[in-house]
Amino acid sequence: MKVLTALLLAVLAASTYGFSCTCVTPGAKTMREMAERYAAQPGVALIFQGKVVKQERHAGTVAAPSNVISTIYISKYENVSFDEVTVYKGKPQEHISVITGSGMGDCGYSFEIGHEYLVYAIESTGVWSTSLCSGTSPVEDAGAAIRFFRGQKTPRKTCSRPKSTQSISTKKCYLPVPDPFAATF
């Protein structure tokens, strides 16, 4: 009986990190469609492009963004600071800090210092937050969304990138939208 109880406790403890993040996001086939939908959502009050200059892990918890359903409780979060900011929606700012989960199934976005991102943020408990579910992505993957925010048209011939696909019906080229469920936690 003691062995069975110990085994059950070990399985429960290990499974805590086995649960994944679940996103409630608008369906979009391209980065441009995602940008259009998030720009129209009233809850997404800040959309910006910026370079990560600082990242700090903190103990404690913060409320999950409304588009996130996390099945686990993790008592850490990241505070990420950005400079070289271009705001596409929201109040213009030179420096912006957002919070995100620490990963491990809590839908936290994994930023890297020195890299640039297009960030979709919502205000949650008085601070800006983002997640895997928000549409946030590295700028090199967000060209169509950035062109949309800048009022530029999407180029007709963009199928030169290896991961792009061409629509048979429209003959337009699309980069696939990153699948938040494909992320490894």
127-160 pLDDT, tens per residue?
A: 898 888 888 999 999 999 999 999 887 655 555 5
Residue 90 maps to a domain: yes
Tokens of 79: 């505070």
pLDDT at position 120 is: 92
Q: What is the extent of the structural domain holding 57?
A: 20-182
Residue 94 maps to a domain: yes
**For 117, phi and psi rounded to 5 degrees?**
-135, 155
Please state, in angstroms and rounded to a whole number, the distance separating the CA atoms of residues 30 and 34. Answer: 6
Residue 126 maps to a domain: yes
Residue 4 maps to a domain: no
Residue 173 maps to a domain: yes
pLDDT at position 10 is: 43
Number of domains in the chain: 1
Check: pTM over 0.95? Answer yes or no: no
Residue 85 maps to a domain: yes
Pairing of strands 137-138, 116-124: antiparallel
Residue 142 maps to a domain: yes
pLDDT at position 118 is: 96
Residue 15 maps to a domain: no
Q: What is the CATH number of the domain that holds 126?
A: 2.40.50.120
Q: Give the number of other CB atoms < 10 A from CB of residue 143.
A: 18
